[in-house]
Structure 1
Amino acid sequence: MLVTKRILLLVTLVMLACAGWAHAGTIALEPGRHSYLVHDVVDVVEDPHAQLNFADISKGNVAFKEYHTGVFSFGFTKSAYWFRFEVDNPSAQARNMMLVLRTAWLDDISVYIPEAAGGYQVVQLGDSLPFAERLHPNPQFLADLQVQPGKQTYYLRIRSTQALLSPIELWDAQAFHDNDRLLLGYFGMFYGVVLVMLLYNAFIWISTWDRSYLYYCLYLAAFFIMNFSYNGFSFQYLWPDAPRWANWTYTSWVFLYQLMAIIFAMVFLETAKRLPRMHRVLCLFLYAMVAAWLLTLAFADPVVHNATGVYFVFLYSPLTAVAGFLVWRSGFPAARFFVIASMGNLVGAFITAMTVSGFMPYSFISFHAVEFGILLDVILLSLALADRIKFLRLQNEVAEKAIIEQKLESNALLQQAKDDLERIVSERTAELCKARDEAERLSRIDALTGAYNRRYFNEVATLEFAKVRRNHHPLSMISFDIDMFKLINDNYGHAAGDEVIKAAASVSKNAVREIDFVARIGGEEFAILLPGSTLEQAAATAERLRELVNTTEIYYQGKKLAFTASFGVAQLKDSDQSFEALLQSADEMMYRAKNLGRNRVAA
């Protein structure tokens, strides 16, 4: 009997699932039900160039696709997205509903609501508008829908330079306001805990002047403003009339939070003293993050800038956790709380970043995982700070005892110990300087070819761009790619392909001027920066390189390998805003050379 009931239940669930699939795109309003997940049934059209208008969409000039992936994020994209869904009101009375978009950072939202006369009313939302223009004073985006009896078709257009995360819900108006009070209660509790912990540790810092507490307070403050902004409250309460400022600062708060988290970890864990190598790694990561922050803010488009801030979370979280584990293993017991707290924060930040980037399905828990992680983090780090003070006090007592014992030794032994210490410090300092210099050199070099790498190429190209703009000198670039490289790998193996890449790099480095800059910027792709060269001079250099490559032969395992390359040449134009435009022009010329038959130069 029990087995029969289970089989009937399974059949019923399958039928319901099939029924839901068959009616994709339609929400049937039910008596007594107060909320519906619109994103479960929407049909979607991607508009890559954001050029479609409502007439194109509503007249069927474009084909909608059902959207049933379960991941309600399109990640960081320049595209606009159109959504279509149908609401079926089977009752004879109109229902007062509310369309809710939970994400607070969406830039431009257009809601197309059908009217009784047959047309559509357009409601404009988004944080590109001043907060006062919203229909409801709420950090989320709300649109009132008067759903008439029968079936009504609604349209949405969403575009955002932040992650296009679009959980969409339909609520009974009164039920939404009741639910929203619970949500505000959650945020009030959460921000209250963070602010209490911030003030508590600030008082301890004022009492002890222990800088660990100062940086912990700065870390909590950075998290607070970041989370306060991403949930829409800073726009609502701090700068409601500055939508441009709100949009530009979202990612800056993310960078600032990660910056303060790493600095706090370095101070708390005393990495400069306990783990010098890890300390250097953390410092290099800090410099890279600050550089990425400023460069993308200054030169990249907003989508790239915003994506960079979120993607750095995938690096900073495990890096700080590893640093804590290594310090703990080195004999610093206070680090154990730091490691456990970091793991909670790491998991929370990682899940939230994965959700925002579109790699995980959206849910309230996954989207707010970073908040749950930070609650564990603030509690455990407070314990860690207290444990650290205890450990340092015991350490000081041991040190004082050791000093007293050392004073009892003879002056000769003390002098010898001093001499030995100075020698060790001098040797260690020399080793550290050598390791630092070598690390800096290796960070600029491509390991396979000995040419410069893409990162250093970007740095040099940025400086050259600024120089030529200041001095009005010509600047040209050659971009070239080894022809039919995949066939070389397929026929002779990847080791043979590596030999071909090294040969191409060697020919290039030996054939250009000392002031020219050769870099490997991709698998088999190279770029050469030619300061002071015009387009004609650069094209002549490219032709000479092409002939050298064409006549170059290498031997691999007794087999003679010959190869060719296609070259693209471009000169910096007055209209170019960055060196990336010059690189793009050279790449376009290179692909033109390939399309014309390969083994040639296009300029």
Structure 2
Amino acid sequence: MILRLLCLMLLCLGGSARAALDVRPAQFSLGEAAAYLEDPGGQLSFATVRALPASDFTPVGWPVFSRPFTRSSYWFRLPLSNPSDRVLNRVLWLEAPWLHSIDGYLLDPDGQLTRFAIGNGLPFDHRSLPLTPPNQTLALAPGASLLYLRVATPDPFIVSLNLMPERDFLLDQRARSLHTGLIYGAILCLLLFNLLLFPFAGGRYQLAYVGYLSCFLLMNAAYNNYTFPLLFAQHPDWQDWMQSGAIFAFLISGLVFTRSFLGLAQRHRRLARLTRLCIWGLLALALLTPLLGYAVHVHLAILFSSLTSSYCCLLGCFAWWRGNGSARFFLLGAASGLLGTLVTALTVMGVLPYSYLGYKALDLGLVLDGVLMSLALADRLKQTREEQLRAQLEATTDSLTGLFNRRAFERQAGDLLARANRGAPLAAMALDLNGFKQLNDRHGHACGDAMLRHVARLIHTRLRANDRAFRLGGDEFLVLLPDTAAAQARVLQQRLLRCFACQPLYFQGESLAVSLSVGLGQWQAGEGSLAGLLRRADQAMYAHKRQFRPSVGDLLSEPT
């Protein structure tokens, strides 16, 4: 009993001594109960550190101790108190799963020393419990104990000490697993959705997006240590390289997706070349900097994560400014990913005070990024379809009149011929403006264009749903009448002539009569093409035209 009282007195000596921590309840983020000592050369032994007075240790002052990348080792001193009358088993675990070397020294109330070593520098089975955070079960005797930890890592230096009963630890990890499962589930759903959509959409940017999401999952699984027990349980060095390598893969895939989605190669070739140069530069860094050691590799990976996210965001801003409508969702997604990346990077580098939300900001930002990018993909797919339909329409539509053009006739001729060969009646109506040259000479080409549009509009309004009107060139028009016998075609011909006669063109205050020559042709069974049908329609049209000889002064009147 006297020895235990002496130990308690020693723990309380010195202005920097910390009050002993009650180990009975679950304790999270114990930085304010601990003090630290920097070991720049990493040469201090436990015997040396143990002999130092408590006043040589600096209070952490925050729940979580964090520093930017450092080559120093840090010693942490944490007084513990077990006021009960029995030994309590408590799990000591650290939040950051990537910490490389954690050496622990526990002095019990009787001065007995227990040593342990955990961290990602050791095989995975060195943990007391097979979970991703480095953890060690401590047997804490009644009275005052003193815990020393030596932590060193080439990765971001974040030390969040937690001490709790095993049951509380397992419940906490289960809750975190549910959070991670929701994030992974959302990302996997987006990934599978876009993968299944690719055969129908066919955009390369969708495959690039699938690669981007896949690399995010790989990166997240690596730096959260999920790949350690699954792939590298006995090879901790490989797990280290997986962490930094997956970050580089994620950055490269992000640039590939950005370049593809924004269509830089088609719209902004200089930016496309610059982005390609960035991709190759990151690939070179990923492959060559391992020669300089893991510390340099991971430092560069985290540094370029912020730079790459910023660059992608700027590309989205530029594309939107230049009129790329799909870039608006991309920009929102890139901004959320950038914000999450920056917050997480600054948190793990010790620039921002540590918080669990800041630590997980990348996950949350990337989920929002994934949702918004999926909206961007859907919007891009919609625009692509609209552009394809517009291009197809422009390719088969006469730009002046809006009727089908000769190319459209050639595409539709096969279908009409097949129907006629199956016995369906088919008629053709050839139309030609009378005196069109005189009209252009007298009133100008603007008037001639207006007349062509006027005639096309009258033809279109008088046709049935299945009839097809074409402008073959100049003032020549063709109307194909599927399922139409000769008598029905003549009725339509007379209807059109009456319509033209009573609806003149008004141009610059002058009324100009519309006069067309119209000829009909009827499909004859056994013909191998539509050539005979069109020839008969043309012959009838020219016969009609010969009845009419306009003069320059007497422009277009209805033929008799």
- Classify the TM-score, shorter chain: 0.5 to 0.7
Matched ranges for 1:154-553 at <5 A: 154-298=147-291, 300-404=292-396
Residues 420-462 of structure 1: CA distance to partner in whole angstroms, max 9, x if unpaired?
A: xxxxxxxxxxxxxxxxxxxxxxxxxxxxxxxxxxxxxxxxxxx
In structure 2, give the amino acid aligned to 1:227.
Answer: N
Quote the residue 1:592 is aligned against: none
Contact 1:73 1:357 in 2 (8 A): yes
Distance in 2 of aligned mates of 1:180 and 1:305? 30
CA-CA distance at 1:216 after TM superposition: 0.6
- Match of 1:26, SS state, is coil
Instruction: Kindly indicate whether residue 38 of structure 2 is the aligned counterpart of residue 56 of structure 1.
Output: no
Distance in 1 of aligned mates of 2:142 and 2:310? 54
Q: How many residues align?
A: 388
CA-CA distance at 1:44 after TM superposition: 1.1
In structure 2, give the amino acid aligned to 1:169.
Answer: N
Distance in 1 of aligned mates of 2:28 and 2:158? 18
Residues 250-301 of structure 1: CA distance to partner in whole angstroms, max 9, x if unpaired?
A: 1111011010011101100101222223223322322332233233212x23
Distance in 2 of aligned mates of 1:127 and 1:329? 46
Distance in 1 of aligned mates of 2:61 and 2:168? 26
Unaligned runs of 5+ in 2: 1-13, 402-560
Quote the residue 2:93 is aligned against: 100
Q: For the structure 1 residues 27 and 380, does the alpha-carbon distance in structure 2 shift closer, same or farther, using more than 3 Å as the test?
A: farther
- Match of 1:312, SS state, is helix
Matched ranges for 1:95-134 at <5 A: 95-115=88-108, 117-134=110-127
Q: For the structure 1 residues 36 and 218, does the alpha-carbon distance in structure 2 shift closer, same or farther, using more than 3 Å as the test?
A: closer
- Match of 1:324, SS state, is helix
TM-score, reference length from structure 2: 0.66
Contact 1:26 1:88 in 2 (8 A): no
Identical residues among aligned pairs (%): 30
Quote the residue 2:19 is aligned against: 26
- Match of 1:143, SS state, is strand
Unaligned runs of 5+ in 1: 1-20, 410-603
Distance in 2 of aligned mates of 1:373 and 1:24? 41
Distance in 2 of aligned mates of 1:303 and 1:26? 36
Distance in 2 of aligned mates of 1:92 and 1:70? 29
- Match of 2:157, SS state, is coil
Distance in 2 of aligned mates of 1:307 and 1:406? 61
Residues 35-82 of structure 1: CA distance to partner in whole angstroms, max 9, x if unpaired?
A: 242222221111122111111111118932222256622221222111
In structure 2, give the amino acid aligned to 1:318.
Answer: S
CA-CA distance at 1:134 after TM superposition: 2.1
Contact 1:347 1:373 in 2 (8 A): yes
Distance in 1 of aligned mates of 2:240 and 2:23? 38
Contact 1:100 1:140 in 2 (8 A): yes
Contact 1:111 1:157 in 2 (8 A): yes
CA-CA distance at 1:98 after TM superposition: 1.4
- Match of 2:121, SS state, is coil
Instruction: Kindly indicate whether residue 67 of structure 2 is the aligned counterpart of residue 74 of structure 1.
Output: yes
Quote the residue 1:138 is aligned against: 131
Contact 1:74 1:165 in 2 (8 A): yes
CA-CA distance at 1:191 after TM superposition: 1.3
Q: For the structure 1 residues 405 and 206, does the alpha-carbon distance in structure 2 shift closer, same or farther, using more than 3 Å as the test?
A: closer
Q: For the structure 1 residues 24 and 274, does the alpha-carbon distance in structure 2 shift closer, same or farther, using more than 3 Å as the test?
A: farther
Q: For the structure 1 residues 272 and 24, does the alpha-carbon distance in structure 2 shift closer, same or farther, using more than 3 Å as the test?
A: farther
CA-CA distance at 1:343 after TM superposition: 0.9
- Match of 1:50, SS state, is coil
Distance in 1 of aligned mates of 2:321 and 2:205? 20
- Match of 1:73, SS state, is strand
TM-score, reference length from structure 1: 0.61
